Amino acid sequence: MSLCGKSFQSCRLCQSFESGIFSDLPEKDLKLLEQCKTANHYKRKQVIFYEGNPVVGLYCIQSGKVKLYKTSGGGKQQILKIAQEGDILGHSALFTETPHMATAEVMEEANICFLDKTRFILVLQTNPSVSLKLLGQLSRELNRAEEQVLDLAYKSVRVRLVEFLLTLKQNFGVYEQGVYRLQISLSREELAQAIGTTVETVVRLLTEFRTEGLIEVEKKSIAIREPEKLLEFIEAPY
C-alpha cells in the first residue's frame, strides 16, 4: 500500500507531475516522493476529508472527479470546485494552523494519492520551485474565488447558470454529433449549490434553455447545442 504498485501508474506519468506543481522536480526528489506516497481508491459519495478535520497531508487526484464544498450554518452547501485528474486537494489548509476549510467528496470513482504533510513540507523547503508553483496555484484559486464573489454580487441567477454551463463545457465537454456533451453527472441540487440558488430555479432555467433549443437535457446528462447563443444571453443583461 505504501508504494505506487500494481494498479496505479508511476508518479512520473501522473498529471500532477506532468503539468502540475511537481513538474520540474529533480529526479532524486521525484523518487523520494514516489516512495513515500500512498495510493487509495475511492468510491462515489466517499468523503476524503471533512471541513473541520485536522490536516494530515496532500492529495493528488490520479483519476475520477471530486467536489469541494463548504457547509453553511443552515446546512446549505456551496460547491467551490470540481476537481479532476491532475488536481491537488487539501493544499490550502496545509500552511495555516487551521483544520480543513472545506469538504472533499468523490463524485466519480477516483484513484487518489496521499502525501504526508511533513514530507511534503520537506520537499517544499528543499525545492523552491515547487513553492513557487504552489503559490501560483493558490493565487489562481484566489482569483477564481474572488471572481465568484463578483458574480454572486452582481449577476443574475440566469447568467450564473449560463456561465457555469460554459465552464462545464470547457472542462468536461466532448464534441459529438453536433453538440458538446458534458461528461459529468450533476444532480439539480449540485447545480444549484454550484451557482448559489435553489433547485427549483435551476429546473425552471434548464427547461427554459431546453425549450429555446440551446441545450439538450436527458436525465442527468446535459449537452450544449449553441454555446454562442448562450453567450449572447449573458451579454445583453449584465
Q: Where on the chain is the footprint of DNA (CB under 7 A)? A: 156-158, 187-189, 196-201, 203-204, 206-207, 217, 219-220
The least CB distance from residue 185 to DNA, in Å, is 9
Using a 10 angstrom Cβ sphere, with 0-12 exposed, 13-18 middle and 19 or more buried, the burial of residue 118 is exposed
Name the residue type at position 211.
Answer: T
From the list DNA, a second copy, none, partner contacted by residue 220 (C-beta under 5 to 8 A by kind): DNA
Are 199 and 190 a contacting pair, CB within 8 Å?
no
Phi, psi of 118 (to 5 degrees): -65, -40
Site residues for a second copy, window 43-102 (CB under 8 A)? 70, 72-74, 76, 78, 80, 91-96, 98, 101-102
**CB hemisphere CA count around 233 (13 angstroms):** 24
From the list DNA, a second copy, none, partner contacted by residue 207 (C-beta under 5 to 8 A by kind): DNA
Q: Concatenated DSSP letters for 151-172?
A: HHHHS-HHHHHHHHHHHHHHHH
DSSP 3-state of 177: coil
DSSP 3-state of 15: helix
The least CB distance from residue 80 to DNA, in Å, is 17
Among 3, 13, 47, 142, interactor with a second copy by CB under 8 A: 142
Are 213 and 225 a contacting pair, CB within 8 Å?
yes
The least CB distance from residue 77 to a second copy, in Å, is 9
The least CB distance from residue 42 to a second copy, in Å, is 23
- Of the ranges 8-16, 105-113, 152-160, 217-225, which one interacts with a second copy (CB under 8 A)? 152-160
Among 85, 141, 216, 226, interactor with a second copy by CB under 8 A: 141
- Give CA separation, 176 vs 217, 220, 224, in Å: 15, 17, 11
Binding interface with a second copy (CB under 8 A): 70, 72-74, 76, 78, 80, 91-96, 98, 101-102, 121, 124-126, 128, 131-132, 134-136, 138-143, 145-150, 152-155, 196-197, 238
